[in-house]
Chains A and B, each alone.
Chain A
């Protein structure tokens, strides 16, 4: 990866997946109870989970 330019599509692959997961989760939570809420927690929760995973990992730097 170092030194190489990534195409725009690749740059946004993971962010777009997290964004889509958030939006779908918000929608499911709003339209259903029970199972809908469970999916909402998992899908919207992906964003804070990703933050925690990245910020809490040990950095070689």
Chain B
């Protein structure tokens, strides 16, 4: 690679990392406890699901209409927004709000046991975890904050790619895993930066890309509702949205949907007028029936007044990618060992960011040529390990 090419990639690597570094460090530090949210909730006695046993709420239990009535009795004057099922326990959650299109902060999440019908009260909140999650998601700036962090994720992808390009000339004369500890602090940092960066590369790419996709979740969902859902419900154009008093039986809607999608397990229901449905439908989201497709949801739109199925279509590719992005980003799908691996790789990422920042901070000013030479020669190689 020519000096000129190295110079250009070096400059790209420098700026695409320097700009997002502070935010990426924040994301790593807040993400670390979030990976363990189940364990932390359980340790604080707030894991409602742990204590329940019986048929999973996605498979059976008391009628859904009975469960909804109980939820609405707890929140008089409010309307249902979502009902969500568990594939593992009888836990059933109902979200209510003052209006069908209520904003997130106006919603109330209620927990129920679908086997006994018992109310488990409002979802237990954990102020610290909620704070960390919001900081991690949107730095308390709602959509602009999400999009900003998404842009930081895209910069990270550019930093990773340019880093790989620079890895080649640097390692030309060095064996894999070279970390020279005895020569200078700068050299040790440089070697650790390159080694940890290249080893964690695939994982960091996946986390950066899925994080960036998640950052665009709201506009992507809106786009799906205004496009695909609107096309599926064309016959309803011009009719006013269904009033909550006229909502029909959810159990009938569920059985109509299951006739079209037999053998599928429901994950959640979006009620009419919300972000996940039309103004007239129960949108019942079913999981795929094979392991490969279990994270891909198919919505069945059922007329909320008559209980008749209108249409069921798989979601567009970009929205399916969004569905897959969530578990891939959170790392909470493979038990505690995978979470520990997630934590180790997060710590490695923090170290890559930190050594990168220190390499920049402790540089001698105005010596870009020296750093290009450093990359070109592997810091004058002499590999000893």
What residues of chain A have their CB less than 8 Å away from a CB belonging to chain B? Answer: 1-6, 8, 11-15, 18-20, 22-23, 26, 29-33, 36-37, 40-41, 44-45, 47-48, 50-51, 54-55, 59-61
Contacts and interface: CB of A to CB of B under 8 A. Distances in A.
11 contacts: A3-B173, A4-B173, A19-B201, A29-B338, A30-B324, A37-B337, A41-B335, A41-B341, A44-B341, A47-B348, A48-B341
Nearest to B192: A55
Given A29-B333, A41-B338, A61-B182, A18 B199 contact: yes
B182 A41 contact: no
A33 B334 CA distance: 7
B291 to A, nearest CB: 5
Interface residues of B, number: 44
Contact of B385 (A14, A30, A32, A61): A61
Nearest to B175: A1
Contact of B176 (A8, A14, A26): A14
B206 A26 contact: yes
B165 to A, nearest CB: 10
A6 B344 CA distance: 30
Contacts of B338: 29, 37, 40-41, 44
Chain A interface main SS type:
helix
Interface in B151-183: 167-168, 171-173, 175-177, 179-183
Interface string B173-201: 10111011111000000001001101111
Given A6-B172, A48-B341, 16 more contacts: A11-B168, A14-B177, A15-B167, A15-B176, A15-B198, A18-B199, A19-B201, A22-B202, A23-B202, A26-B203, A30-B324, A36-B291, A41-B341, A50-B199, A59-B182, A60-B385
